[in-house]
Amino acid sequence: MSSFLYGAHVRANGIRQHYLRFGGRGEPLIVVPGVVTPAILWSHVAERLGDFFDTYLLDVRGRGLSESGDHLDYGFDSCADDLAAFIDDMKLAGVTIVGHSMGARIALRLTRRSGAKVQRLVMLDPPTSGPGRRPYPIAMERSRQLVEACKRGEGEAYLRSPGVARWPEPLLRQRAEWGGTCDLRALEVAYRDFHEQDPFEDLKLTRADVSLIVAGASGVVSEEDIEAFRSVCPQLSVCVIPGAAHQFQAENCDEFMEALGAMLRIALR
């Protein structure tokens, strides 16, 4: 039986935020996806999490069915404000956040604030770029091409072209369908903040119990990055999935689910 309950909108932090809810019982858990990933592309993960947690899957502003447009600030601070307002509006406490890529950076920014109501954060292959550090290895142009192809209605052809990692068929079709909802300016601002803001400073100031899952073949988090994370957070729990791609929730799903379940102390199968 599916754990999916419903999709809905809430007005929080002055904007329309869209979410999908799964399970409805247990401790609250929020999934925050990456830079060009609408919430629906994480539904297969949230379905399993919904068996254990009251699970909320968010569209970050400028993606999916959440508000977008030229009037919005897409910086990490504003996105963290959205997340804080969502938690308050939904009257959640003792929250676990699972953040992938950009979503991990947004959630980490939130956890350094007092009163954030976040108990635990699982970071999934977060960009480690920042001032004086190596660039994020996934080029913005690659993400831009995907979004633009989806906006033209050519997303499936792009995702099936040589050199593009092939997702499982149902997820590939969803990605093509929903990729065009991503605001290109939101993409540009996220890449700016990847390089201008320091995740290690955020981790140093975090008030949450933080753990890290690394996609071993993505190049996003290196061994040196792991040591740097541990130098500012010695208690950090780390799991590396050998050979896994950055989008491991799609391309290496079984291994990813096992690793995430271990971090959350549940059996995700």
For 100-143, the pLDDT digits (tens) are: 999 999 999 999 998 999 999 999 999 999 999 999 999 999 99
Q: 4-28 pLDDT, tens per residue?
A: 999 999 999 999 999 999 999 999 9
Q: 32-52 pLDDT, tens per residue?
A: 999 999 999 999 999 999 999
Least confident window among 13-17, 59-63, 111-115, 222-226: 111-115
Take residue 25 and report the two structure tokens written for it. Answer: 């019982």
DSSP H helices in 29-91: 43-49, 76-89
- Rounded Cα distance between 32 and 86, Å, is 12
Candidates 108, 148, 111, 126; CA nearest to 35 is 126
- What local confidence, expressed as pLDDT, does residue 127 receive? 98
Using CA atoms, how far residue 143 sits from 137, 146, 182, 217, in Å, is 12, 5, 10, 18
Using CA atoms, how far residue 224 sits from 83, 148, 201, 221, 244, in Å, is 30, 34, 16, 8, 18
User: Where residue 254 falls among pLDDT bands split at 50, 70, 90?
Assistant: very high
- Rounded Cα distance between 20 and 10, Å, is 11
The verdict on pTM exceeding 0.95 is yes
**130 by DSSP, 3-state: which?**
coil
- Rounded Cα distance between 30 and 58, Å, is 7
Which domains can be identified in the chain, with CATH numbers?
4-264 (3.40.50.1820)
